[in-house]
Amino acid sequence: MPGLVAAGPHGATPPAPLNPSGRRNERRQRMSDQLIRPRFRLGFLTHVQGRGDPATTYRNAQELFVVADELGFDVGWVAQHHAPLGGGGLPSPWTFLSHAAARTKRIRLSTAITVLPLENPVRLAEDVSVVDLLSGGRWRSESAAAAASSSTRPSAATSPASAS
């Protein structure tokens, strides 16, 4: 019957409003339903850590994104770390996320940490833009300013002086 409203756990759900053509606006109805019934979201964070071969560590972390996408996770975050001995080994999350974008279909891609004082602003904007385009708009922004810590200071293993 026209005009009936379905009752949900939070009371009556109003019908979708009419758009200019006289039809119900389904998008507005979905948005209204989401306000009434919040959606459960699930994500994960990886620091891209591993022992041994860095290529294997990166492949394993990429596989994590693929499996999470297949299982219906909403978002995957990576943390940028410039010193492998300081908690992770991913100095360039944008390259990593562009590869993840090519291997996944719907999971959102994000950085949990981007150390902004160490980034060239133009290069960062370009890298983020490319990841967003390659992923079909699945990139999400997370960033932080950082004080000098073990994750931003070069270690003896990564210092140019130790290469000689």
Same domain, 83 and 23: no
Instruction: State the residue range of the domain holding 77.
Output: 43-163
Let me know if residue 1 belongs to a domain: no
Selected residue with higher pLDDT from 161 and 58: 58
In a domain, 147, yes or no: yes
Q: Are residues 17 and 54 in the same domain?
A: no
Q: pLDDT band at 127, cuts 50/70/90? A: very high
Q: Is residue 137 part of a domain?
A: yes
Q: What is the mean pLDDT of residues 22-40?
A: 63
Same domain, 16 and 89: no
Q: What angle do CA 43, 38, 22 make, to 5 degrees?
A: 125
pTM over 0.95: no
Q: Which of 3-17, 24-38, 75-89, 96-110 has the highest average model confidence (pLDDT)? A: 96-110
Return the pLDDT at 138.
94
Same domain, 109 and 128: yes
Per the domain annotation, does 2 fall within a domain? no
Same domain, 26 and 49: no
Domain count, the chain: 2
Residues 95 and 153 in one domain: yes
pLDDT band at 21 (very low <50, low <70, confident <90, very high): low
Residue 70 lies inside a defined structural domain of this protein: yes
Q: Which residue has the higher pLDDT, 10 or 37?
A: 37
